[in-house]
């Protein structure tokens, strides 16, 4: 069973981190050495991957056109779905990145007796993906309160909005609920949709389990097994101000959370999670459909062997002549 | 259609839920009807491509060069550097599965490796194994697998069951385009001499003679002359169709099927009538006598070698700009590749319609206009007299061809013309037209006879949408602007959706076009009587 | 070349964004020094052990509120047997200062101002008023 291997790996990491969170030496390792190593791997690895992509040439302009091209003035062109200028491209990219435009088109095909092919709306994947990504972003930004002193106003504001239901103390945050629900949905798809189960790799489950582990330990710390926030903030601040400290009051659960987060950051550049950077570079989306309007140069263009008119005329000379077509050389 | 072809009822037993076996453990079966024959050694040799030899896909030994693995991996490395699309699409797929049921080959076969995501995984797994750290270290755990001869065979099977139609790319949240991946794999396969006759044959012909079938210059002239005679009989008007004439304003390039195949031929008649009626100063070329470019289905280099003829001939004939006929992948090349490959076209002028004064700003650099852009502009400016009732025997639907739809965005122009030249036009369901259009299932060099089962399967979604409008509105003509569509859809519709013919936009335009000095039209361009047509259909 | 500028520019922007805490803390000269909390002068022991109060005071306060308001139960017997009145202003705020104790730490960890103060008044603002 494919999900078992990654599940076991994550559980093992959790177990090790929980144990390690209780001994002084390993606390140092997990609380200070590992986060630094992970962030360094992330920053360098991420940059390396993006630079690698940038170094691959962009020979042709190959946007996937999803609407009417810009041609005659009286035909309304679809300037976002088939952009012909920078404004259109930027809008298209913004829609893709912020709202997952392409995924919004998703449909589900079925075949019935007849045969009859049916295509039905299917926005669940879009909704689940959007819910997950936006929640994760808000959660990440909320965490700035632990890394930055004084806490920026937008972080407090975000916290206020996130907790506007005012349930309990500490207040229930909407994103905490949404992110878990979305992750469980994304995981459920991989289990129950047979096509998806067939295409899923170990790494697909690994990413989901890892994220779930992070989210669940975070929620446990906030609502159930409390940790000393002052100590957590000292540790976090210590890391980003390069004066690492290890407060004594921080419990092992926090170390599990921190270890999983470190693992996520270190794993990121080696994985499909790089789609975060990649989506910006996708040549079927970030180019204008203007190759007839404007010439684009292929940096590695090279001369090729062609069959010239002269060679052609020579080969078929008599036939051309007999059929009465004009010749260059009589 | 070959005898052994399964019946529609048999073919339609499709299950979209894959069996549980690991896909890395299944192998394709080279069963008759599912694959294309290998390229002929003489064509491979003529084009100067590697490893010409006699072989066929069902053979156990494909006679690959001894260092084939090295060649493939070196080829991958090179292409990862030359094509950002390739490297990116190898890296960022998250296997969300949105593309899975968007491919007509999957919808028609249920073969899980026809899901675009898995089609790409066929090479992505190899990419991981040899080009990523995690793949080198963790192998299978990281989704990597070794490159073996079986993988090459699998690539051949599945990347020649992709018509590069880009439909999956519309739905992919990252815009991953399987067409790009297919192009890469086909290039790689070419490096070790694995290619198909139905692609390399036409490429060799086109390269040497000027068109896919290898019709020589005198044959080309005969075909055009024949059309001119035919037209005189139908309309009473004698048109002129100059070839290789220097100094014309416009060079006109059509897919060669327009002058050697039906129903394309009726579209050719439509062009000739139109140009005569408006008095366009144009010429055909017997050297650049092919709009289509099967090179695209093989490698970027071959695409460039064939495409070069267009500009070369435009330059030689000293025309001002180029006009292109109804063709699908030709327009992918013209719209997205030509200027970059063989430009700049600085010896041409920005196309201006001599009749309406419209400057085609959108073609300012490439200087090549699509016939539908040209004609819709004429109609919009009331330059044509049309009698749409001459098409009343047709209930028409329009099939967006993949390349003009998703590699260009030519969606409204043909519809505008259609609405002006016929009275009964019905759209197919919205999930099957425009940018979501389904391929005919035979594009990208798959339109051969020997792989008929694969084609019929790939064509099911399109045919099924046609069936919907046939049953609902009585549609009996599917129009399209692609020569491969016109060549392959008749077979397909006859199989899945009998009673629907296939035609071109300019065929209907020709029917409707009122020409100066024409005799009373009794038949349409197909020679079918205008009045009794409706009875004939039901007979 | 222009498109490479976009990529590198975007990457730079991303790196600047990701390292926001680093340079922001450098600008504000943030240190790991925790806030100086003013401890009660007249009491040595809170209603529960310090460790517990540090992490879970909000839970205790919510429990107090519920049992007092819903069950009319106003007595709280602490871990060392001492009995307290379940009153926020009357008990907690008699020892702790809102400004120099509660707010300092809440601001430090960015825990948003709880809605305690929607009903309760800081005694420091109304000298002499009965709780």
- Under a CB-based contact definition with an 8 Å cutoff, are residues B340 and A287 in contact? no
Across B438-476, where does the E strand assignment appear?
Answer: none
- Under a CB-based contact definition with an 8 Å cutoff, are residues A200 and A190 in contact? yes
A46, A47, A150 member nearest C28 (Cβ): A150
Best residue in A42, A56, A149 for a mutation probing chain C (most C CBs within 10 Å) = A149
* Three-state SS sequence of C7-74: HHHHHHHHHHHHCHHHHHHHHHCCCCCCCCCCCCCCCCCCCCCHHHHHHHHHHHHHHHHHHHHHHCCC
Task: Express each pLDDT in A193-241 by its tens digit.
Answer: 999 999 999 999 999 999 999 999 999 999 999 888 999 999 999 999 9
Crossing angle between the packed helical segments A202-219 and A252-267, to the nearest 10 degrees: 150
Q: Which residues contact A60 (CB under 8 A, 6 or more apart)?
A: A291, A296, A298, B336, B337, B340
Residue at A123 is within a domain: yes
Q: Does A216 touch chain B (CB under 8 A)?
A: no
Rounded Cα distance between A172 and A165, Å, is 7
Any alpha helices (H) in B209-334, and if so which ranges? 217-235, 257-260, 264-278, 300-316, 329-333
Q: Does A278 touch chain C (CB under 8 A)?
A: no
Token pair of B484, please? Answer: 């491969």
**A96 prior amide bond cis, ω within 30:** no
Confidence class for position B3, pLDDT limits 50, 70, 90: low
Residue at A329 is within a domain: no
Rounded Cα distance between A195 and A77, Å, is 37
Chain B residue with the nearest C-alpha to that of A78: B409
- Give the length of chain B: 539
Contact between C110 and A156 using a beta-carbon 8 Å cutoff: yes
3-state class of B224 per DSSP?
helix
- Under a CB-based contact definition with an 8 Å cutoff, are residues A228 and A250 in contact? yes
- Under a CB-based contact definition with an 8 Å cutoff, are residues B477 and B363 in contact? no
Contact between B91 and A129 using a beta-carbon 8 Å cutoff: no
In chain B, which residues have their Cβ closer than 8 Å to the Cβ of A48?
A: none
- Under a CB-based contact definition with an 8 Å cutoff, are residues A255 and A17 in contact? yes
Question: Whose CA is closest to A312, among C125, C47, B244?
Answer: B244
Rounded Cα distance between B125 and A269, Å, is 18
Residue at A327 is within a domain: no
- Under a CB-based contact definition with an 8 Å cutoff, are residues B176 and B119 in contact? no
- Under a CB-based contact definition with an 8 Å cutoff, are residues B322 and B368 in contact? yes
Best residue in C1, C4, C5, C7 for a mutation probing chain A (most A CBs within 10 Å) = C7
Task: Express each pLDDT in B175-229 by its tens digit.
Answer: 999 999 999 999 999 999 999 999 999 999 999 999 999 999 999 999 999 999 9
Confidence class for position B535, pLDDT limits 50, 70, 90: very low
* Whole-number Cα distances in Å, B110 to A177, B103, B122: 37, 10, 17
Shortest Cα distance, chain A CAs vs residue C124, angstroms: 24
3-state class of B283 per DSSP?
strand
DSSP state of C91: I
3-state class of C100 per DSSP?
helix
**Number of alpha carbons in the 13 Å side-chain half-sphere of residue A195:** 24
Rounded Cα distance between B81 and A57, Å, is 6
3-state class of B396 per DSSP?
strand
Shortest Cα distance, chain A CAs vs residue C128, angstroms: 30
DSSP state of A82: S
Which residue has 């600085």 as its token pair? B346
Task: Express each pLDDT in A136-172 by its tens digit.
Answer: 999 999 999 999 989 999 999 998 899 888 888 788 9
Contact between A166 and C115 using a beta-carbon 8 Å cutoff: yes
Contact between A227 and C55 using a beta-carbon 8 Å cutoff: yes
CB atoms within 10 A of CB A287: 21
Backbone angles phi, psi at A241, to 5 degrees: -100, 10
Residue at A50 is within a domain: yes
Rounded Cα distance between B114 and B399, Å, is 23
Check pLDDT > 60 for residue B536. Answer: no
What share of chain B in percent tops pLDDT 90? 94
Could you tell me which residues of chain C have a Cβ less than 8 Å from any Cβ in chain A? 3-4, 7-8, 10-11, 14-15, 18-22, 24-26, 28, 30-32, 34, 51, 54-56, 58-59, 61-62, 105, 107-112, 114-115
Task: Express each pLDDT in B393-409 by its tens digit.
Answer: 999 999 999 999 999 99
What pLDDT, on the 0 to 100 scale, is given for residue C123?
A: 81
Shortest Cα distance, chain B CAs vs residue A230, angstroms: 38
Check pLDDT > 50 for residue B243. Answer: yes
Confidence class for position B539, pLDDT limits 50, 70, 90: very low
Task: Express each pLDDT in A12-64 by its tens digit.
Answer: 999 999 999 999 889 999 999 999 999 999 999 999 999 999 999 999 999 99
DSSP letters, A197-246, are: HHH--HHHHHHHHHHHHHHHHHHIIIIIS---HHHHHHHHHHHHTT----
DSSP state of B337: I
Token pair of A191, please? Answer: 């289990």
In order of their start, the domains of chain B are 39-195 (1.10.1060), 205-538 (no CATH)
In chain C, which residues have their Cβ closer than 8 Å to the Cβ of A43?
A: 15, 18-19
Rounded Cα distance between B499 and B476, Å, is 6
Contact between C32 and A58 using a beta-carbon 8 Å cutoff: no
What pLDDT, on the 0 to 100 scale, is given for residue C131?
A: 45
Confidence class for position A93, pLDDT limits 50, 70, 90: very high
Q: Does A146 touch chain C (CB under 8 A)?
A: yes
C21, C34, C62 member nearest A230 (Cβ): C34
Tens digit of each residue's pLDDT, chain C (131 residues): 688 999 999 999 999 999 999 999 999 999 888 888 888 888 889 999 988 998 899 999 999 999 999 999 999 999 989 999 999 988 998 889 888 999 999 999 988 777 788 888 888 887 655 54
Chain B residue with the nearest C-alpha to that of A115: B12
Contact between C59 and A226 using a beta-carbon 8 Å cutoff: yes
Contact between B175 and A116 using a beta-carbon 8 Å cutoff: no
Rounded Cα distance between A244 and B75, Å, is 48
What pLDDT, on the 0 to 100 scale, is given for residue B2?
A: 59
In chain A, which residues have their Cβ closer than 8 Å to the Cβ of C10?
A: 280
Note which residues in 27-86 of chain A have CB less than 8 A from chain B. Answer: 49, 52-62, 64-72, 74-78, 81-82, 84
Question: Whose CA is closest to A128, among A176, A183, A174?
Answer: A183
Domains in chain A, number: 1
Token pair of A208, please? Answer: 């989901």
- Under a CB-based contact definition with an 8 Å cutoff, are residues B396 and B434 in contact? no
Domain containing A20: what range?
4-322
Asked if this assembly's ipTM is beyond 0.85, the reply is yes
Residue B363 CA to chain centroid, in angstroms? Answer: 21
What pLDDT, on the 0 to 100 scale, is given for residue B538?
A: 43
CA angle A311, B53, B68 (to 5 degrees): 105
Q: Does A240 touch chain C (CB under 8 A)?
A: yes
CB atoms within 10 A of CB B354: 14
Q: How many helices (H) and strands (E) does chain A have?
A: 16, 2
Mean pLDDT of all residues belonging to chain B: 95
> What phi-psi label fits residue A273: left (phi over 0), alpha (psi between -120 and 50 degrees) or beta?
alpha
Question: Whose CA is closest to A259, among A23, A21, A7, A42?
Answer: A21
- Under a CB-based contact definition with an 8 Å cutoff, are residues A225 and A268 in contact? no
Task: Express each pLDDT in B289-305 by its tens digit.
Answer: 999 999 999 999 999 99
Query: Between A and B, how many CB-CB pairs are < 8 A?
Result: 316
Range in B182-196, B329-343, B346-360, C111-125 with the lowest mean pLDDT: C111-125
Q: Does A276 touch chain C (CB under 8 A)?
A: no
* Whole-number Cα distances in Å, B196 to B106, B157, B324, B442: 22, 11, 27, 14
Residue at A56 is within a domain: yes
Rounded Cα distance between B379 and B356, Å, is 10
Q: Does A41 touch chain C (CB under 8 A)?
A: no
**A170 prior amide bond cis, ω within 30:** yes
Residue at A154 is within a domain: yes
Rounded Cα distance between B394 and B374, Å, is 24
**Number of alpha carbons in the 13 Å side-chain half-sphere of residue B21:** 8
Chains that touch B (3 or more CB pairs under 8 A): A
Rounded Cα distance between B95 and B73, Å, is 24
Rounded Cα distance between B490 and B262, Å, is 10
Residue at A220 is within a domain: yes
Task: Express each pLDDT in B17-47 by its tens digit.
Answer: 987 788 998 999 999 999 999 999 999 999 9
Instruction: Supply the CATH number for residue A97's domain.
Output: 1.20.950.20
- Under a CB-based contact definition with an 8 Å cutoff, are residues A329 and B247 in contact? no
Is pLDDT larger for residue B103 or for residue B5? B103
**Number of alpha carbons in the 13 Å side-chain half-sphere of residue A164:** 4
Residue at A330 is within a domain: no
Shortest Cα distance, chain A CAs vs residue B358, angstroms: 8
What pLDDT, on the 0 to 100 scale, is given for residue B533?
A: 45
What average pLDDT does range A175-197 have in this prediction? 96
Q: Which residues contact B114 (CB under 8 A, 6 or more apart)?
A: B103, B105, B106, B158, B161
Shortest Cα distance, chain B CAs vs residue A162, angstroms: 27
């Amino acid at each position: 069973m494919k999900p078992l291997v990654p599940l076991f790996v994550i559980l093992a990491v959790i177990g090790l981190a929980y144990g390690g969170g209780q001994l002084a030496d390993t606390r140092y390792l997990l609380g200070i050495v590992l986060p630094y190593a992970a962030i360094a791997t992330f920053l360098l690895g991420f940059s390396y991957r993006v630079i690698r992509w940038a170094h691959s040439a962009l020979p042709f302009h190959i946007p996937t056109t999803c609407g009417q091209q810009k041609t005659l003035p009286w035909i309304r062109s679809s300037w976002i779905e088939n952009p012909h200028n920078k404004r259109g491209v930027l809008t298209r990219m913004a829609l893709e990145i912020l709202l997952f435009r392409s995924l919004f088109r998703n449909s589900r095909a079925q075949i019935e007796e007849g045969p009859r092919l049916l295509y039905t709306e299917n926005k669940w994947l879009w909704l689940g993906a959007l819910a997950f990504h936006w929640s994760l972003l808000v959660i990440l930004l909320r965490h700035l309160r632990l890394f930055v002193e004084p806490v920026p106003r937008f972080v407090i504001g975000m916290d206020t909005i996130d907790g506007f239901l005012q349930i309990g103390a500490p207040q229930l945050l909407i994103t905490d609920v949404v992110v878990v629900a979305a992750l469980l949905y994304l995981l459920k798809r991989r289990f129950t949709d047979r096509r998806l189960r067939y295409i899923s790799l170990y790494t697909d489950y690994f990413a989901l389990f890892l994220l779930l582990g992070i989210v669940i330990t975070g929620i446990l710390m906030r609502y159930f097994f409390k940790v000393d926030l002052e100590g957590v903030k000292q540790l976090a601040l210590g890391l980003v101000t390069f004066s690492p400290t290890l407060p004594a009051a921080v419990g092992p659960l926090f170390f599990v959370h921190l270890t999983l987060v470190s693992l996520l950051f270190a794993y990121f550049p080696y994985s499909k999670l790089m789609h975060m950077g990649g989506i910006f570079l996708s040549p079927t989306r970030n180019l204008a459909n203007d190759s007839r309007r404007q010439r684009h140069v292929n940096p590695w263009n090279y001369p090729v062997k062609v069959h010239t008119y002269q060679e052609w005329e020579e080969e078929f000379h008599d036939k051309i002549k007999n059929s009465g077509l004009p010749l260059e050389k009589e | 259609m070959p005898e052994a072809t399964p019946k529609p009822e048999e073919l339609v037993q499709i299950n979209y839920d894959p069996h549980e076996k690991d896909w890395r453990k299944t192998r394709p079966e080279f069963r008759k009807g599912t694959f294309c024959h290998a390229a002929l050694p003489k064509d491979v040799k003529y084009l100067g491509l590697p490893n010409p030899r006699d072989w066929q896909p069902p053979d156990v030994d494909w006679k690959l060069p001894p260092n084939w693995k090295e060649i493939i991996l070196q080829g991958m490395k090179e292409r990862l550097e030359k094509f950002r699309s390739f490297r990116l699409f190898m890296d960022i797929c998250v296997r969300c599965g949105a593309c899975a049921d968007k491919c007509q080959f999957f919808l028609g076969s249920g073969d899980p490796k026809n899901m675009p995501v898995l089609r790409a995984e066929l090479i992505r797994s190899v990419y991981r194994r040899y080009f990523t750290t995690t793949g080198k270290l963790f192998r299978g755990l990281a989704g990597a697998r070794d490159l073996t001869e079986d993988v090459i065979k699998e690539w051949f099977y599945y990347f020649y069951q992709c018509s590069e139609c880009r439909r999956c790319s519309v739905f992919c949240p990252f815009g991953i385009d399987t067409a790009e991946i297919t192009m890469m794999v086909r290039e790689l396969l070419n490096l070790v001499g694995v290619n198909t006759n139905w692609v390399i044959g036409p490429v060799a012909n086109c390269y040497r003679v000027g068109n896919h079938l290898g019709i020589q210059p005198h044959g080309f002239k005969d075909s055009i002359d024949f059309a001119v005679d035919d037209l005189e009989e139908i309309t009473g008007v004698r048109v002129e169709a100059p070839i290789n004439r220097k100094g014309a304003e416009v060079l006109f390039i059509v897919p060669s099927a327009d002058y050697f195949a039906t129903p394309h031929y009726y579209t050719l008649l439509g062009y000739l009538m139109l140009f005569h009626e408006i008095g366009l100063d144009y010429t055909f070329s017997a050297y650049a006598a092919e709009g289509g470019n099967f090179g695209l289905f093989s490698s970027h280099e071959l695409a460039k070698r064939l495409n070069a003829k267009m500009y070369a001939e435009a330059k030689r004939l000293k025309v001002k700009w180029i006009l292109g006929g109804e063709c699908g992948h030709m327009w992918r090349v013209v719209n997205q590749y030509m200027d970059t490959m063989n430009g700049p076209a600085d010896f041409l002028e920005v196309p201006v319609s001599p009749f309406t004064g419209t400057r085609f700003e959108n073609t300012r650099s490439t200087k090549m206009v699509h016939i539908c852009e040209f004609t819709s502009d004429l109609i919009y400016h009331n330059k044509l007299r049309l009698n749409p009732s001459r098409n009343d025997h047709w209930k028409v639907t329009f099939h967006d061809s993949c390349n003009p739809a998703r590699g260009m965005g030519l969606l409204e122009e043909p519809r505008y013309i259609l609405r002006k030249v016929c009275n009964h036009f019905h759209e197919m369901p919205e999930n099957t037209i425009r940018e979501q259009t389904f391929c005919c299932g035979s594009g990208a060099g798959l339109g051969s006879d020997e792989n008929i089962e694969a084609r019929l399967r790939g064509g099911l979604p399109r045919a099924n949408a046609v069936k919907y409008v046939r049953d609902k509105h009585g549609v009996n003509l599917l129009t399209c602007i692609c020569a491969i569509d016109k060549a392959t859809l008749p077979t397909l519709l006859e199989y899945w959706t009998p009673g629907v013919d296939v035609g071109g936009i300019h065929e209907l335009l020709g029917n409707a076009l009122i020409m100066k000095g024409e005799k009373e039209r009794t038949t349409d361009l197909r020679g079918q009587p205008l009045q009794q047509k409706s009875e004939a259909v039901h007979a | 070349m222009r498109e490479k500028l976009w990529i590198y520019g975007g990457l730079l922007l991303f790196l600047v964004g990701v390292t926001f805490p680093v340079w922001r803390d450098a600008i504000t000269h943030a240190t790991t020094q925790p806030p100086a909390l003013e401890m009660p002068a007249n009491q040595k022991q809170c209603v529960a052990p310090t460790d517990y109060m540090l992490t879970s005071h909000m839970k205790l306060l919510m429990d107090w509120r519920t049992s007092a308001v819903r069950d009319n139960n106003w007595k709280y017997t602490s871990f060392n047997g001492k009995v307290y009145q379940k009153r926020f202003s009357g008990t907690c705020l008699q020892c702790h200062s809102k400004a120099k104790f509660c707010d300092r730490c809440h601001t430090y960890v960015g825990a948003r101002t709880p809605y305690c103060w929607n009903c309760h008044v800081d005694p420091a603002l109304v000298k002499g008023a009965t709780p």
